């Protein structure tokens, strides 16, 4: 069966500066998207005249208006993965699918985010600030969760984290190691929002937000836009940078993973997981490789325990053993067996709903990363543990 | 009752499938929908049985005893309206005899430190306003 394998490549990446929540004003989110798209095209050595597709996720934005503003000659593909941040890495797979199917040639995957009027930190609150766009509308399903006070993703993932602790003996020390390792990477990276080193003492002195998750287990709340350009492998070879070939991409999940943290009915077998297990299996099968072949892992880190669960679901360690695995230094750069979030992740660099992870994968494969994994050949990128779909991407150089 | 949200932030929006649950809740009865065709329970109530896709449902009364499957202690006010209610213990409770159905609600009138995964609980009811009642849980001394 024909697959996406090695048929396309990421050829350009671009971003606005990363801002703390609200500090991107008076730019609009769509203006930032335009800036990121132009930067990514320029990075590839392409122009708007080459662009013919958009592949979005997490409710996206109005591509009609952006195409109108930029004067895109012919929009041949504009589509979006359903769901939320789970689709980040998969938006590149969507671009690859468009190209392989012949619907488009140069497709941009974009995220733009501005949390001035409203915050993802209150996504499921019953009423947001005036003008807020992220507060969840009432729903018959939400009635079974929201009256308990669970109205923030971090509170909800704390319930999964607690179950993981109970079932496998994971501790806050393990969450702490994720936070500290990720911050150590961010300290060396220009443009990261959190460049001060973080200590174990600071971690354990931080206020508890939703027990067992403290302040440093939570990602940042940011503004900014990130875009990446994907095109055919043949065309990629003539462009400015060494191509980052799309080895494989997959998205979805078990139906009974479903709405995940907004219903809590997932089967016990994978309740305390990232929801990624079936996606990981399909991903590796398409690529024809296994976790031992991955040189650097850019794992969606909205909350530190979810990095642990993805290490398990992507096979870097057995299910239930991610705590001791990180305690042994395995995710550290340099020197760990699988360096994780070498850019500082959502936790310490910036939270642009996971697209920064795609950028870092490309930089690692070009050999230009700030925290370069020596000789990196294969990079794994994941989208957020979230409701269906979750997604992933394998790139190689 | 200590450890629940203020009434102004609880506004239910039942539909035809969930309305029987809330009507029973207002009478302080816990009912769980069971597929008439294959006997599989499901929560929240939904239009299809996830096991056999039948739409036929019967409502089975449940004693409301269960165990805490997982929980979090909410200590930070995401919106100002919840500040005075903190800390809140939000728990996922497994209902025995339902094939693993779970109910989400606050563990009330307790020291958060006393709450643990596996702890037995009973269901109680928080009368939010006339016609609106939501389930809550109390730790049960075994």
Check whether A79 has a pLDDT greater than 90. Answer: yes
Other residues' Cβ atoms within 10 Å of the Cβ of residue B109 = 13
A149 with B92: Cβ contact below 8 A:
no
Return the pLDDT at A132: 58
Rounded average pLDDT over A355-370: 98
DSSP state of A309: H
Check whether A134 has a pLDDT greater than 70. Answer: no
- Residues B115 and B125 sit within 8 Å (Cβ to Cβ): no
Check whether B82 has a pLDDT greater than 80. Answer: yes
Return the pLDDT at A83: 93
Closest partner residue to B75 (CB to CB) among A140, A209, A268 is A209
B79 with A122: Cβ contact below 8 A:
yes
Contacts of A143 in chain B (CB under 8 A): 12-14, 18, 22, 44
Rounded to whole angstroms, how far apart are CA atoms A257 and A265?
A: 8
In the block, residue with structure tokens 């036929």 = B56
Task: Give B9→chain A minimum CA distance, Å.
Answer: 6
Return the pLDDT at A129: 54
Return the pLDDT at A124: 79
Check whether A131 has a pLDDT greater than 70. Answer: no
Provide the Cα torsion A301, A302, A307, A308; round to 10°: 160
Kindly list the distances between the CA atom of residue A217 and the CA atoms of A42, A127, A308, in Å, as whole numbers in the listed order.
Answer: 36, 25, 12
Rounded average pLDDT over A240-256: 98
Q: Which residue, among B64, B80, B139, B81, has the nearest Cα to B106 in the 3D structure?
A: B139
Rounded average pLDDT over A77-83: 97
Q: What is the mean pLDDT of chain B?
A: 97
Closest partner residue to A149 (CB to CB) among B15, B106, B112 is B106
Rounded average pLDDT over A331-358: 98
Rounded average pLDDT over A136-142: 87
Q: Which residue, among B88, B11, B5, B7, has the nearest Cα to A136 in the 3D structure?
A: B11
User: Per-residue pLDDT tens for A147-169?
Assistant: 999 999 999 999 999 999 999 99
Return the pLDDT at A135: 67
Residue A381: which pLDDT band, with cuts at 50, 70 and 90?
very high
- How many residues are recorded in chain B? 142
Let me know if A134 is a catalytic residue. Answer: no
CATH number of B7-139: 2.40.50.840
Rounded average pLDDT over B115-136: 98
Check whether B77 has a pLDDT greater than 70. Answer: yes
Let me know if A124 is a catalytic residue. Answer: no
Rounded average pLDDT over A174-191: 97
Produce one character per residue of A261-279: b if its CB has 16 or more CB atoms within 10 Å, e if not: bbbbbbeeebbbbbbbbbb
Going along chain A from its start, the domains and CATH numbers come out as 8-115+219-396 (3.40.47.10)
Return the pLDDT at A378: 98
Q: Is A37 helix (H, G, I), strand (E, B) or coil?
A: helix
User: Cα angle at A67 between A65 and A70, to 5 degrees?
Assistant: 105
Which one of A147, A156, A157, A259 makes the best mutation probe of the B interface by having the most chain B beta carbons within 10 Å?
A147
B72 with A159: Cβ contact below 8 A:
yes
ipTM attached to this prediction = 0.98
Residue A120: which pLDDT band, with cuts at 50, 70 and 90?
confident
Give me the residue spans of the domains in chain B.
7-139
Rounded to whole angstroms, how far apart are CA atoms A263 and B69?
A: 13
B102 near A CB under 8 A = yes
Region for residue A343 given its phi and psi (left: phi exceeds 0; alpha: psi -120 to 50; beta: otherwise): alpha
Rounded average pLDDT over B75-90: 94
Rounded to whole angstroms, how far apart are CA atoms A187 and A370?
A: 10
Residue A117: which pLDDT band, with cuts at 50, 70 and 90?
confident
- Residues A57 and A207 sit within 8 Å (Cβ to Cβ): no
Check whether A52 has a pLDDT greater than 80. Answer: yes
Share of chain A above pLDDT 90, in %: 93
Q: Is A193 helix (H, G, I), strand (E, B) or coil?
A: coil
B100 near A CB under 8 A = yes
Chain A residue with minimum CA distance to B99: A267
Check whether A139 has a pLDDT greater than 70. Answer: yes
Return the pLDDT at A328: 98
Task: Give A143→chain B minimum CA distance, Å.
Answer: 6
Residue A183: which pLDDT band, with cuts at 50, 70 and 90?
very high
User: Per-residue pLDDT tens for B10-55?
Assistant: 999 999 999 999 999 999 999 999 999 999 999 999 999 999 999 9
Rounded average pLDDT over A86-109: 98
């Amino acid at each position: 069966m024909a697959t996406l394998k090695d048929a396309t490549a990421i050829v350009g990446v671009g971003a606005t500066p990363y801002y703390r929540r609200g500090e991107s004003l008076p730019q609009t989110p769509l203006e930032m998207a335009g800036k990121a798209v132009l930067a990514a095209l320029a990075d590839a050595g392409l122009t708007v005249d080459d662009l013919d597709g958009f592949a979005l996720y997490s409710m996206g934005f109005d591509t009609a208006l952006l195409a109108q503003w930029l004067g895109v000659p012919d929009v041949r593909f504009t589509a979006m993965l359903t769901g939320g941040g789970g689709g980040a890495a998969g938006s590149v797979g969507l671009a690859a699918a468009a190209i392989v199917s012949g619907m488009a040639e140069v497709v941009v995957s974009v995220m733009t985010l501005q949390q001035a009027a409203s915050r993802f930190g209150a996504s499921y609150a019953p009423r947001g600030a005036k003008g807020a766009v992220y507060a969840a509308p009432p729903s018959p399903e939400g009635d079974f969760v929201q009256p308990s006070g669970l109205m923030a993703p971090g509170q909800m993932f704390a319930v999964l984290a607690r179950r993981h602790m109970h079932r496998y003996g994971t501790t806050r020390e393990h969450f702490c190691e994720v936070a500290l390792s990720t911050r150590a990477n961010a300290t060396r990276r220009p443009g990261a929002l959190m460049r001060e080193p973080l200590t174990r003492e600071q971690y354990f002195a931080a206020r508890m937000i939703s027990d067992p998750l403290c302040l440093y287990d939570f990602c940042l709340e940011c503004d900014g836009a990130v875009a990446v350009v994907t095109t055919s492998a043949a065309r990629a070879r003539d462009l400015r940078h060494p191509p980052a070939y799309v080895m494989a991409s997959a998205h979805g999940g078990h139906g009974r993973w479903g709405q995940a943290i907004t219903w809590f009915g997932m089967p016990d077998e994978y309740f305390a997981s990232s929801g990624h297990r079936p996606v990981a299996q399909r991903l590796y099968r398409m690529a024809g490789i296994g976790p031992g072949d991955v040189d650097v892992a850019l794992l969606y880190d909205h909350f530190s325990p979810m990095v642990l669960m993805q290490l398990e679901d992507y096979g870097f360690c057995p299910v239930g053993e991610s705590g001791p695995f990180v305690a042994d230094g395995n995710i550290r750069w340099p020197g760990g067996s699988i360096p994780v979030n070498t850019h500082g992740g959502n936790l310490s660099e910036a939270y642009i709903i996971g697209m920064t992870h795609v950028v870092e994968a490309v930089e690692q494969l070009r050999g230009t990363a700030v925290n370069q994994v020596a000789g990196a050949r294969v990079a794994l990128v994941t989208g957020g543990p979230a409701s269906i779909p979750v997604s992933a991407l394998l790139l190689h150089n | 009752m200590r450890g629940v949200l203020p009434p102004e932030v609880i506004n239910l929006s039942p539909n035809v499938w969930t309305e029987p649950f809330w009507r029973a809740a207002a009478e302080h009865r816990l009912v769980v929908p069971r597929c008439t065709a294959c006997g599989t329970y499901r929560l929240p109530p939904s239009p299809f049985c996830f096991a056999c896709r039948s739409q036929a449902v019967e409502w089975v009364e449940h004693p409301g005893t269960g165990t805490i499957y997982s929980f979090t202690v909410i200590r930070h006010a995401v919106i100002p309206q919840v500040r005075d209610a903190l800390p809140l213990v939000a728990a996922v409770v497994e209902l025995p005899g339902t094939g693993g159905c779970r109910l989400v609600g606050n563990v009330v009138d307790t020291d958060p430190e006393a709450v643990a995964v596996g702890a037995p609980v009973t269901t109680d009811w928080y009368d939010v306003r006339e016609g609106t009642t939501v389930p809550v849980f109390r730790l049960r001394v075994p």
